[in-house]
Structure 1
């Protein structure tokens, strides 16, 4: 089951929403603070949010004064998305979503691009959308997490073999795409980006003490965070 249909599957969606309600995911503790730390002042910027889900990041950016186009393939996620007068939601698959050249100052994506098969093609489109000096900032599942052909908490295996991986996550057959850190960064450089930040956000020891379920994420990084300037 691929990203374009995954979040409309009722069994998956029920499990995912329960995870977020219980605060057991990576978003609140790790991903959101890490992403916020690399974003510029957004007042007056034209922003595109790829894989926006229920609009948390899009609304934070709009509340900071940005005009946001928030894109997601899931009908159910967009139906539940938070509303804001400066957020325009668009239902589209990231595999073929397109915008006019030079129409964005900032492109962001939060934990979505590991569902995209043609990462290089997406980077090429983002490069066209951004004005000179525009920023592309995204988080994805860390390649050491996506690498094993058979999912395991802390085993790095099959790292060099890029391509699709199937996982059981609330439902069977969830498809994500593994690519190495080198491949990710090379795609950005190839399409004219200058790397600003490459980080591997992990919980602090204090966070693990307060929330023991985060302990595994100090044994290996759960996320890769990249920001790059066009």
Structure 2
């Protein structure tokens, strides 16, 4: 069964308070790295998997994409996306990412932000994305870094005074379900190694264009000194691939 934590009232209430929910792309720490990997959108058909509030959908249209489809499992997320969108060239579909079934070669660009670590089978998604992407099309996505997802706790190791000593990594090679705490308890994520992400893409037929591990910029650290710790370990893995 696919977990839909974003439709949980308590979880959604907390998520709405996050900087990325309030400020949009400017509040997303990985956005500068992700943005640099995105292609020119002009006259392109775009699919956003796990679109949330639709920030990336609207960005693609601002960059003159011809059409954008956003897919998300959460009714609450899409309700907010509809409220924030007044563009007939953007459409939203309420369904799990795993259930997409678009025609072959429909999209020029397929994008996803921080969604695939909630998906049990990444290789299945890779094959579906490959099929509905046009030849020469790009697939760009971000996920929580496997160094971050390896443990159920997904937190720092602290001393007796609460000082962050280091970020522990354990059971890295043991892939699969992690039950963790993110905004609320009992959040299901799926851990997989960096090599699994890359090899699943290669086996689906993609050419790897770039692999990035985002860091907090100097500006982010200046505005929020707490962001300095984000550079002590990678938080996000960002990959760009091409359908040859």
Q: Which TM-score bucket, shorter chain as reference?
A: over 0.9
| Structure 2 residue 80 is the aligned partner of structure 1 residue 80 | yes
- Structure 2: 5+ residue runs without aligned partners? 157-166
Normalising by the residue count of structure 2, what TM-score does the alignment of the two structures yield?
0.88
Residue matched to 2:241: 228
Residue matched to 1:106: 109
Distance 1:10 1:103, change over 3 A: same
Contact 1:149 1:158 in 2 (8 A): no
Q: 1:182 deviation in Å?
A: 0.2
Aligned with 1:174: secondary structure?
Answer: strand
Contact 1:50 1:110 in 2 (8 A): yes
Residue matched to 1:146: 149
**Greater CA deviation, 213-222 or 25-34?**
25-34
Normalising by the residue count of structure 1, what TM-score does the alignment of the two structures yield?
0.94
Contact 1:105 1:131 in 2 (8 A): yes
Q: How many matched pairs? A: 229
Aligned with 1:117: secondary structure?
Answer: coil
Per-residue Cα deviation, 1:120-155 (whole angstroms, up to 9, x for no partner): 000000000011110000000000000013332211
Q: 1:168 deviation in Å?
A: 1.2
Residue matched to 1:60: 59
Contact 1:167 1:173 in 2 (8 A): yes
Per-residue Cα deviation, 1:170-195 (whole angstroms, up to 9, x for no partner): 21100011000000000000011000
RMSD between aligned alpha carbons? Answer: 2.0
Q: Which of these residues, 167, 176, 184, is aligned with residue 180 of structure 2? A: 167
**Greater CA deviation, 30-39 or 42-51?**
30-39
- Structure 1: 5+ residue runs without aligned partners? none
Aligned with 1:172: secondary structure?
Answer: strand
Residue matched to 1:184: 197
Residue matched to 1:135: 138
Distance 1:131 1:20, change over 3 A: same
Per-residue Cα deviation, 1:43-83 (whole angstroms, up to 9, x for no partner): 11111000000100000001211110100010001001021
Work out the CA distance in 2 between the residues paired with 1:125 and 1:27.
Answer: 30
Distance 1:106 1:199, change over 3 A: same
